[in-house]
Amino acid sequence: MVFSRLFFIYIFLPLCLLCYAAARGIKQKNTVLIIFSLLFYAWGEPVYIFLMLLTAAVNYTAGLIIGKYQGKGGDTAATAAAVAYDLLMLGIFKYSGFIAENINALFSCSIPVPDIRLPIGISFYTFQTISYIIDCHWEKVKPQKSFKNFLLFLTLFPQLVAGPIVRYSTIEKEIVNRTVELRDISYGFNRIALGLAKKVLLADQLNIISESFLGNIGGSTAFGAWYGVIAYGMRIYFDFSGYSDIAIGLGRVFGFHFDENFNHPFICKDITEFWQRWHISLSIFFRDYVLYIPIFGKRRKYGGLFLVWLCTGIWHGASWNFIFWGLYYGVFVFIEMKIGKKKMKKIPVVIRHIYSKFVIFIGFGIFYFEDIGKLGTFFKTAFGFGKNGFIAVQDRISLINNMYLLIIAVICCFPVLNGIKTLSDKRFASKAVISSSAAVAAALLLVITSIMLVDSTTHPFLYYRF
């Protein structure tokens, strides 16, 4: 089930809200959320829902064992077994085909390549269970004794299939005790409308541009390659940050406070800052659970760095381009670490912006092309070695026809809403006026989005496949 579908917006969600409002007490409300979350997942994964339930049972049991044998051998054994299970499931369903293909190519073998459909959201809910198990082991959280409550944490439908990666510690208290005020509902629906608008009005339209140029990279000009990859980069941003907005908004409506997952990443001045603003929940996960693994001795700082970026690339997909993409960013973060923060700040801001955007959009090109041959064609074309010249008539036509879309997209990459909020805080307008204006704007966005969704072929959120 996709958030940006009329069925979800006008049937599934209202029905869930009605049942939630009718439920008495936190236990009944949690039951409603679990039922609707399982329905939400089963809508697209009627078989793999059993895999998710098995994962929940394994990690719930491991958590109880960790709590019972805290600091003893049973604790370590349960932690290792649960993490091994989680990674094994992820490896089987996401990477087994890729591994078999590369073994066959490297050793001239004929191992059967498994054709396994990737369970939606497995990368996200697997990382949630791993973080829960390790936090229990480190005594950062107490193991959840109620399977029902643990199942709610894992299956909560706003963030189930595409993040953000919600840590158990973030919603531990809210699982058993939460309140929803009118301002939470208002904020939540405003955020949902904003996320839908990002997805439908910006991401899906930018996708048309990016596919027309990158999808036929062999026929693109140098301008077309850059035009396409910039559109693709903004498409990913509005697609994934739009999903995160909807997830955060839905969570707030039900009384959960999820952490932010994006913080206007394109205003960054270097690559390190970019990754402090982009997919924040994933960056924090790798920082907390991978970066300081003590397997590199005195070189753990840099060894851990490249391990993190290798894992980041692998996490995104079973393809060499994702591995190259992860290590590509690892190299630039390493260079910035060696230069140092003080020296980086001495570089003129304009140069830092140009450098960071150049690296970022080249990175989106690596991310897009899973076919290495086409990736090579992209590089040759983008740097002027293609066979179609610098710019063509169709490039100019596309640029002119999509000028308003591109201008709006660029503006929306900046913290415009934060600026409006700042003005309201300075009493240029009353809070009542600002709140009313936000509600009207949200309603208008929802109407426009709904019109666009009628008879549309809206693409699923990009991160569903990760």
User: Which of 137, 279, 316, 459 is labelled catalytic?
Assistant: 316
Q: Provide the residue count of the chain.
A: 466
Q: What contacts 24+ positions apart, CB below 8 Å, involve 79-83?
A: 79/133, 79/134, 79/136, 79/137, 82/58, 82/129, 82/133, 83/130, 83/133, 83/134
- Residues 425 and 287: their CA atoms lie apart, in Å, by 34
> What is the Cα–Cα distance from 409 to 303, expressed in whole angstroms?
38
Angle formed at CA 21 by CA 249 and CA 122, multiple of 5 degrees: 45
The Cα–Cα gap between 310 and 122 comes to 19
316 catalytically annotated: yes
Q: How far apart are alpha carbons 10 and 431 in whole angstroms?
A: 29
| Residues labelled catalytic | 316
